[in-house]
Structure 1
Amino acid sequence: MRRRARYSRSRMRLGRRLLILDDDTELVDAVARHLERHGYSPTRTYMVAEAAAAIDQSVRDALPFQAIVTDLQLPDGDGRAIVRLARERLPSCPVLMMTGSGSVSGSVEAIRLGAVTVLEKPVSLETLANELRQAVDDRAELEDGLDAATNAGIIGRSAAIRGVLDALFLAAPTDATILIEGETGTGKELVAKAVHRLSRRSRAPFIPVNCAALPETLVESELFGHLKGAFTGADKSREGRFQQAHRGTLFLDEIGEMPLPLQPKLLRAIQEGEVQPLGSTKAEKV
């Protein structure tokens, strides 16, 4: 028998609004009761269509969900559809996925679409609560930090600017290498600074480097550093920009102007997280 979405009305105005989606009604009830004790106001849904309708209604009512917990496989569809919908309608809402199917490809796809984690069933309720708290807290910190984008000079209300801000919001908490594309003067460095300010690295240095402005003979030393005596005039050891940006953010502007012979060394630094200063036989972690 199909069940309607159920709302915990007594806590609607008090707790963080949470959407739960799973066709196992006993599991949904257990999760809802447990998370109510952790300060959440759960809405129970059992079908993808119900969850999608609840998301749309929450947006219309200006009472958006602050977190979503969903199963991967549902009778009328796939939980990944909810991940996609949440990303479109509730970009600041973290989505946690549960799965009992053991589908590695499905889990990877869910993460790629924007789910913050995938938990294997049977899920410990306390583990779920801890993962949820961490996800909500991380997103709350990012919400508080969105003013950094404005402080960095990114101002606007158009769909294009909103798209840029949404991309910043998704990229900032990750440790991924980010490619920022745009014509000269469109504000690539502003975007890079905003990503830095919204990230966990915000208290460490932001180091900008204009690759096009560096003499070709100095690029390697400038980026990777050198030891004393590595070349004529190297009267003391010097850190490169990668080392200076350790635990922070390195912004390589006009990276396409990098000399071709140096690109393999740059690729190693990006992929492996290590650099080898000129004159050194050892790589350094950065």
Structure 2
Amino acid sequence: MARTGNILLVDDDPSLRRLLALRLEGAGHTVETAESARAALNALDRFAADCVITDLRMEGMDGIGLLDRLHQAHPTVPVILLTAHGTIPEAVTATQRGALDFLSKPIDKDMLLSRVDQALAQAGMAGDHWQSLWQSRIVTRSPAMHRLLDEARLVADSETSVLITGESGTGKEVLARTLHEASPRGRAPFVAINCGAMPEQLLESELFGHEKGAFTDAKQAQQGLLRSAEGGTVFLDEIGDMPFALQVKLLRVLQEREVRPVGAQRALPVDVRIISATHRNLAESIASGHFREDLYYRLAVVTLALPALRERPEDIAPLARHFLDTIAQRSERRAKVYAPEALEALCGHDWPGNIRQLSNVVEQNVALTRGHVVSRQAVDKALATQSGGRDRAATLQPLAEARDAFVRDYLIQLLRISEGNVSRSARIAHRNRTEFYKLLNRHDIDPAEYKR
């Protein structure tokens, strides 16, 4: 049975757009149309396309330009090009740059539907497996996270080294495990080690192994975590904290695919994929001489930057409910719920500890709540405890207050730029002078204070 999906159709010929849309809708697809590449990019903000069909020659940004932009913003969405006979060489070039296929005009109906089915099947086979994997581990409705997961899907089944960046508690190890399970190495070991959690000598021995008698406590030989993960993935958390001397040995592992245990006379082959993570700015560490630049380029072939929880506030409520359900399943009890005002308090917090901190707060709320409903007071108490007695809940302002604060700051900024010149400030703001004076009076701002 043929797949059906969401198709974005881009062509500046309205007659052809209508014809192709009718054919696609007749086959059961949901179709969104756009008359230009710019309109197509805007449509993708609200329309989750499974496939894009675009004309090659259009006014303004052409099909190649749209293809390049799509690969940046939506790398997993297949693109089919429509081309006139004279532009077939360009279409062939476009397929070399990432387009899935091209169709020559006039468009044959059966060929169109067949190519769309192939595109959806190709995207769906890998996509279904990846989606089921990440949804079993990651809770999100954030567009930023979905874009990140699209990038992660592309790199998951490769051998490429990946560097995951992000603040502590954002879920870097969870993403690393998901990448491992989606890879051809998914049935082999996944070994995680925190590079900042142990002394240099112990870390060296844990990573690379050691021979018997290599040092005082080496009562027997140990193969080390790199060799214990043979055929699988090694996750090096907080790689930015790895001692400088060990960075040289790790670089050799990446370059030579072999490891020399402490005290050994020869190196041993090792087959592992390295995924690393850090909350540090490695560019600054390189500049200060604390991290090797050559190692950085080996580790960061692909970089995935996890957003902080405060940058994805739409995920706070779903994550809180997920943690409530997880705790209930673990204890085999009925899941508790948050009162509406309690959920507001959670969503208004800045979460400096990110998802890990939210999980801890939910755990505390469940443990200290006798009834079925977690109250606002319980949330406030937990947040105050988490912040060392200082309540950092910082509930979001009401819309009217936030808007007034923004307008006042904006007016002051204009007056500073114009040195108190009301007429010039009004022109910059695209307002007439009388209206601008009313705004100043409403927000109790005296332009004379900003004159030079």
Q: TM-score, normalised by structure 2?
A: 0.41
Q: 1:59 Cα deviation (Å)?
A: 9.6
Provide the C-alpha distance between the structure 2 equivalents of 1:140 and 1:174, rounded to a whole number of angstroms. 16
Q: Aligned pair count?
A: 237
Q: Structure 1 pair 211/86, CA: closer, same or farther in 2 (3 Å)? A: closer
Is 1:212 paired with 2:212? no
The aligned counterpart of 1:201 is 185
The aligned counterpart of 1:270 is 254
Partner amino acid, structure 2, of 1:218: L
Q: CA offsets, 1:134-153, max 9 Å, x none?
A: 9965762343232222322x
The aligned counterpart of 2:77 is 93
Q: CA offsets, 1:183-217, max 9 Å, x none?
A: 22221111111222222222111111011122221
Q: TM-score, normalised by structure 1?
A: 0.60
Kindly indicate whether the alpha-carbon contact (under 8 Å) linking 1:70 and 1:95 is maintained by their aligned counterparts in 2. yes
Q: RMSD of aligned C-alpha atoms?
A: 4.7
The aligned counterpart of 2:242 is 258
Provide the C-alpha distance between the structure 1 equivalents of 2:220 and 2:205, rounded to a whole number of angstroms. 12
Kindly indicate whether the alpha-carbon contact (under 8 Å) linking 2:211 and 2:218 is maintained by their aligned counterparts in 1. yes
Is 1:184 paired with 2:168? yes
Q: Structure 1 pair 227/165, CA: closer, same or farther in 2 (3 Å)? A: same
Paired-residue identity, %: 35
Q: 1:241 Cα deviation (Å)?
A: 1.5
The aligned counterpart of 2:396 is none
Q: Structure 1 pair 274/138, CA: closer, same or farther in 2 (3 Å)? A: farther
Q: 1:262 Cα deviation (Å)?
A: 0.9
Is 1:151 paired with 2:130? no
Higher helix share: 2
3-state SS in 2 of match to 1:214:
coil
Provide the C-alpha distance between the structure 1 equivalents of 2:237 and 2:45, rounded to a whole number of angstroms. 38
Q: CA offsets, 1:218-251, max 9 Å, x none?
A: 1112111223343334343322212222222211
Kindly indicate whether the alpha-carbon contact (under 8 Å) linking 1:201 and 1:248 is maintained by their aligned counterparts in 2. yes
Provide the C-alpha distance between the structure 2 equivalents of 1:265 and 1:244, rounded to a whole number of angstroms. 17
3-state SS in 2 of match to 1:168:
helix
Given the alignment, which residue of 255, 266, 272 partners 1:281? 266
The aligned counterpart of 1:34 is none
Q: In terms of Rg, which structure is larger?
A: 2
Partner amino acid, structure 2, of 1:227: E
Q: 1:259 Cα deviation (Å)?
A: 0.9
Kindly indicate whether the alpha-carbon contact (under 8 Å) linking 1:196 and 1:202 is maintained by their aligned counterparts in 2. yes
Q: CA offsets, 1:91-119, max 9 Å, x none?
A: 4334699x968xx9x999x4xxxx3999x
The aligned counterpart of 2:147 is 163
Provide the C-alpha distance between the structure 2 equivalents of 1:273 and 1:150, rounded to a whole number of angstroms. 33
Partner amino acid, structure 1, of 2:147: G
Kindly indicate whether the alpha-carbon contact (under 8 Å) linking 2:212 and 2:221 is maintained by their aligned counterparts in 1. yes
Provide the C-alpha distance between the structure 2 equivalents of 1:135 and 1:223, rounded to a whole number of angstroms. 43
The aligned counterpart of 1:20 is none
Kindly indicate whether the alpha-carbon contact (under 8 Å) linking 2:212 and 2:218 is maintained by their aligned counterparts in 1. yes
Provide the C-alpha distance between the structure 2 equivalents of 1:166 and 1:268, rounded to a whole number of angstroms. 31
Provide the C-alpha distance between the structure 1 equivalents of 2:99 and 2:80, rounded to a whole number of angstroms. 6
Kindly indicate whether the alpha-carbon contact (under 8 Å) linking 1:168 and 1:194 is maintained by their aligned counterparts in 2. no
The aligned counterpart of 1:121 is none
3-state SS in 1 of match to 2:192:
strand
Provide the C-alpha distance between the structure 2 equivalents of 1:186 and 1:200, rounded to a whole number of angstroms. 26
Kindly indicate whether the alpha-carbon contact (under 8 Å) linking 2:205 and 2:261 is maintained by their aligned counterparts in 1. yes
